[in-house]
């Protein structure tokens, strides 16, 4: 799940190409009556999309936004797939980044946002993020709302009790690599008898595999290489090492046990994208001031999450939806949302803004979150994300989870995952 709220500068005129649709009740080229003051919006839950809608409506009291939080990001993608196959589509939909590649296989299912003027604003966004929602013929399917710059959150009190440094700069020096992180984990658990991290598949494997040069697909040929890519295997082996080290709390991310673990200090570290700060605050409000943030192992770079706003081809009110996209995703609005909620902008022009760089979070011991998270994505070299990347990653994680739970054989876990992936993909 993952990506989190949205924000920006007012649209003052309708796009010339759609000038005939600029008044509610006019008839656009599709032949149906279009309402430019009303639109249906599907979002996934858990990211407080209501706040963005309320912000927009406060600026535009004459606009009606029918927001539906469909479910998880996966459930929202599934509902959209069904709707595109013949059901009633929304005017606007939020698609999580890992789910986007499947939809990019059929860009004709969505409005080409260049027809609304997207070509004038695509340069505002990180090029590697924008590339993911751009089709082979240049179609712009979605506008990015956020990215998930990476860091490692840690409990200051737990580190102090274990005799570890607590200053974030010193903590970051503990783990330049993931192997170093696991060494610290083993030493911590040996001394305290307590788990060091929440779980192996997310905090170790999922982060390490998102720092590779190529992931599940070849960047050039776009052929699947998940079974033979040594970088994927190395990340998987790190996950297995963590899963069998006795240093994890065995609490899957976003589960009830994980939420309780945050509140009860059942683990000392958790891999944290920028949008997860809100989850920690909401699940463990009484831990205010007990956390701090260090650099993520593996070079300090990485991204987890991010979403896109798209308009289905069958939308009845696309102009109203585009008005929302353009205003709420402009650079100044993305900056405002980061300052308000921690949703990391996809607009690099604001990465040097003094307000962003000076942003700290008192809940996390006044950690300089603006600096930490933008540095983790600025200059990031992306890998190709294929249509089945989400399924492939889930099977690798399931295999690690089984080992962590004592139900899988570490020596055959990778081969098991590969076979499960082939089965899941029908191969």
* pLDDT one-digit tens code per residue, 274-310: 989 988 999 999 999 999 999 999 999 999 989 999 9
Which domains are assigned to the chain? 16-147+305-357 (3.40.190.10), 149-303+366-424 (3.40.190.10)
Please give the mean pLDDT across all residues of the chain.
91
Q: Look up residue 275 and give its two tokens.
A: 């949008």
pLDDT, residue 380, reads 87
pTM: 0.86
CB 197 within 8 A of CB 206: no
Average pLDDT of the residues in 401-422: 98
Strand partners, 95: 308
Q: Which residue has the higher pLDDT, 46 or 261?
A: 261
Residue 257 has a pLDDT of 96
DSSP class per residue in 241-304: HHHTTT-B----TTSHHHHHHHHHT--SEEEEETTHHHHHHHH-GGGTTSEEEEPPTTTS--EE
Higher-confidence position of 409 and 29: 409
Are 112 and 18 in contact by the 8 Å Cβ rule? The answer is no
Separation of alpha carbons 99 and 370, rounded Å = 27
- Tell me, what's the pLDDT at 32? 56
Would you say residue 398 has pLDDT above 60? yes
Report the DSSP beta bridge partners of residue 68: 42
Answer yes or no: is pLDDT of 9 > 90.
Answer: no
Give the Cα separation of 197 and 296 in Å (integer).
13
| pLDDT of 3 higher than 60 | no
Instruction: Give per-residue pLDDT as tens, 224-237.
Output: 999 999 999 999 99
Q: Which of 13-27, 171-185, 204-218, 302-316 has the lowest mean pLDDT?
A: 13-27
Place of tokens 């590697």: 128
Per-residue model confidence as pLDDT tens digits over 68-125: 999 988 899 999 999 999 889 999 999 999 899 999 999 999 999 999 999 999 999 9
pLDDT at 243 over 60: yes
How would residue 27 be classed by pLDDT, with cut points 50, 70 and 90? very low
């Amino acid at each position: 799940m993952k990506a989190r709220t949205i924000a920006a500068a007012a649209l003052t005129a309708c796009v010339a190409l759609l000038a005939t649709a600029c008044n509610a009740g006019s008839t656009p080229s599709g032949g149906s009556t279009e309402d430019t003051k009303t639109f249906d919006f599907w979002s996934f839950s858990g990211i407080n999309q209501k706040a963005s809608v309320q912000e927009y409506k406060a600026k535009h009291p004459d606009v009606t936004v029918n927001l539906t939080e469909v479910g998880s990001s996966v459930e929202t993608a599934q509902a959209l797939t069904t709707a595109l196959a013949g059901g009633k589509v929304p005017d606007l939909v939020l698609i999580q980044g890992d789910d986007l590649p499947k939809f990019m296989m059929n860009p004709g299912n969505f409005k080409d946002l260049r027809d609304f003027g997207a070509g004038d604003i695509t340069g505002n966004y990180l090029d590697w993020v924008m590339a993911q929602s751009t089709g082979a013929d240049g179609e712009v399917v979605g506008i990015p709302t956020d990215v998930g710059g990476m860091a490692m959150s840690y409990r200051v009190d737990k580190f102090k009790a274990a005799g570890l440094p607590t200053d974030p700069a010193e903590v970051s020096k503990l783990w330049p690599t993931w192997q170093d992180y696991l060494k610290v984990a083993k030493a911590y658990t040996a001394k305290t008898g307590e788990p060091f991290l929440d779980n192996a598949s997310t905090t170790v494997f999922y982060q390490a595999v998102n720092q590779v040069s190529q992931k599940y697909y070849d960047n050039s040929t776009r052929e699947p290489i998940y079974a033979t890519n040594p970088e994927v295997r190395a990340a998987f082996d790190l996950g297995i090492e963590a899963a069998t080290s006795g240093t994890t709390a065995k609490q899957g991310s976003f589960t009830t046990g994980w939420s309780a673990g945050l509140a009860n200090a059942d683990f000392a570290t958790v891999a944290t994208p920028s949008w997860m700060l809100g989850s920690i605050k909401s699940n463990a409000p009484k831990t205010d001031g007990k956390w701090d943030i260090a650099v993520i192992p593996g070079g300090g770079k990485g991204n987890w999450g991010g979403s896109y706003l798209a308009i289905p081809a069958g939308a009845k009110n696309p102009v109203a939806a585009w008005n929302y996209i353009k205003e709420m995703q402009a650079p100044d609005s993305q900056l405002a949302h980061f300052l308000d909620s921690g949703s990391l902008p996809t607009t690099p022009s604001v990465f040097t803004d003094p307000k962003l760089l000076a942003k700290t979070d008192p809940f996390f011991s006044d950690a300089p979150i603006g600096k930490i998270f933008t540095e983790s994505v600025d200059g990031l070299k992306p890998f190709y994300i294929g249509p089945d990347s989400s399924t492939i990653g889930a099977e690798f994680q399931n295999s690690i989870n089984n080992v962590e739970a004592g139900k899988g054989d570490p020596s055959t876990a990778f081969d098991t995952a590969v076979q499960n992936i082939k089965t899941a993909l029908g191969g």
